């Protein structure tokens, strides 16, 4: 027997290469919009609007909404359904989009494809005009983003994002709320830029490299994981035990070490 053809959602076949799972459950759509709490003059961009499940409800609250949709068929469909006076539509890849062009106090909304979630979050972390981001992600990714040191979920993604954002895990969304249903549970998270509380990092690239090296092999001690970057004596000068593992360090410890090395 051949493989069953994927079912259409409102006449559209979900495309695997774009990681398309469309939110269809009105209960969760309403909860997400309530969590965003959109105001009339908010500057909002929705990443991956898809079939417009959130787009329509958001437009009930704001004067104008920007959306970034990579799928040409879906972009054309959105262009037919919504007036260009209300919807600023970009048929583009969010990983290559220049969010700075959208203006100040930008609020980012999105049901992010799981295959691009981490690089997209790193990209958003470099946006100086970001006010907040409310995003749907794989639940495990949200757990990693919000993790505390010395836990299984704590890792490179945690440190890189918590150096820039306060992260709130809002609520879970089950697979059945989507068509087609994903194989994993989802969760909604809010990222709030730290602003004045953001730690000063002398060399961003060095910081990123130190964090990556510390978590490349989780069982390695700092002495071994960072031997290409810093000596055991250097670790001790930073107040860190060479025999400790990266997962035990707080975000501030990584910032302090990277700044000393810079």
pLDDT tens-digit readout, 144-185:
999 999 999 999 999 999 999 999 999 999 999 998 888 899
Q: Choose one of 197, 214, 233: the last residue of a domain.
A: 197
User: Strands 43-47, 12-13: parallel, antiparallel or unpaired by DSSP?
Assistant: unpaired
Say if residue 101 is in the same domain as residue 212: no
Whether residues 71 and 112 fall in one domain = yes
Q: Are residues 93 and 222 in the same domain?
A: no
Residue 3 lies in a domain: no
The verdict on residue 31 lying in a domain is: yes
Asked whether residue 69 falls in the same domain as residue 181, the answer is: yes
Q: What is the CATH number of the domain that holds 16?
A: 3.40.50.150
pLDDT more than 90, % of the chain: 84
Note whether 136 and 160 are same-domain residues: yes
pLDDT at 16: 52
Better-scored residue on pLDDT, 49 or 16 = 49
Domain membership of residue 120 as a residue range:
8-197
As a whole number, mean pLDDT of residues 210-235 equals 95
In this prediction, residue 108 carries a pLDDT of 98
What is the per-residue pLDDT for 180? 84
Among residues 169, 197, 225, the one where a domain terminates is 197
Report the distance separating Cα 194 and Cα 180, nearest Å.
36
Domain co-membership, 118 together with 76: yes
Q: Could you tell me if 244 and 179 lie in one domain? A: no
What count of residues does the chain have?
Answer: 262
Count: domains in the chain: 2
CATH number of domain containing 230: 1.10.8.100
Domain co-membership, 20 together with 129: yes
Q: Give a three-class secondary structure readout of the chain.
A: CCCCCCCEECCEECCHHHCCCEECCHHHHHHHHHHHCCCCCCEEEEECCCCCCCHHHHHCCCCCEEEECCCHHHHHHHHHHCCCCCEEEECCCCCCCCHHHHCCCEEEEEECCHHHHHHHHHHHHCCCCEEEEEEEEEHHHHHHHCCCCCCCCCCHHHHHHHCCEEEEEEEEECHHHEECCCCCCEEEEEEEECHHHCCCCCCHHHHHHHHHHHHHCCCCEHHHHCCCCCCHHHHHHCCCCCCCEHHHCCHHHHHHHHHHHC
Determine, yes or no, domain membership for 1: no
Pairing between strand 186-193 and 165-173?
A: antiparallel
The Cα diameter of the chain in Å comes to 66
Residue 14: pLDDT band by 50, 70, 90 thresholds? Answer: very low
Q: How many C-beta atoms surround the C-beta of residue 160 within 10 A? A: 21
Examine the domain organization and report whether 131 and 217 are in the same domain: no
Q: Are residues 140 and 48 in the same domain?
A: yes
pTM: 0.89
Contact in structure between 176 and 125 (CB atoms under 8 Å): no
Where does a domain end: 151, 166, 197?
Answer: 197
């Amino acid at each position: 027997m051949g493989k069953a053809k994927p079912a259409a959602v409102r006449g559209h076949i979900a495309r695997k290469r774009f990681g398309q799972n469309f939110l269809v459950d009105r209960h969760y759509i309403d909860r997400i919009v309530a969590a965003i709490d959109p105001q009339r003059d908010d500057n909002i961009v929705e990443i991956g609007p898809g079939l417009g499940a959130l787009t329509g409800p958001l437009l009930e609250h704001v004067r104008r909404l920007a959306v970034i949709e990579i799928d040409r068929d879906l972009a054309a469909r959105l262009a037919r359904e919504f007036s260009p006076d209300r919807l600023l539509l970009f048929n583009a890849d969010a990983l290559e989009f220049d969010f700075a062009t959208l203006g100040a106090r930008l609020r980012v909304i999105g049901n992010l494809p799981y295959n691009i979630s981490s690089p997209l979050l790193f990209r958003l972390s470099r946006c100086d005009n970001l006010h907040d981001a409310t995003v749907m992600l794989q639940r495990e990714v949200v757990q990693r983003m919000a993790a505390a040191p010395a836990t299984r979920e704590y890792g490179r993604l945690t440190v890189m994002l918590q150096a820039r954002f306060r992260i709130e895990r809002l609520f879970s969304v089950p697979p059945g709320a989507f068509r087609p249903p994903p194989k994993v549970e989802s969760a909604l998270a809010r990222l709030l830029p730290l602003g004045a509380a953001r730690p000063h990092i002398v060399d961003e690239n060095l910081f990123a490299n130190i964090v990556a090296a510390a978590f490349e092999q989780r069982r390695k001690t700092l002495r071994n994981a960072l031997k290409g970057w810093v000596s055991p004596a250097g670790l001790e000068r930073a107040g860190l035990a060479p025999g400790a593992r990266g997962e035990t360090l707080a975000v501030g410890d990584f910032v302090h070490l990277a700044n000393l090395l810079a």
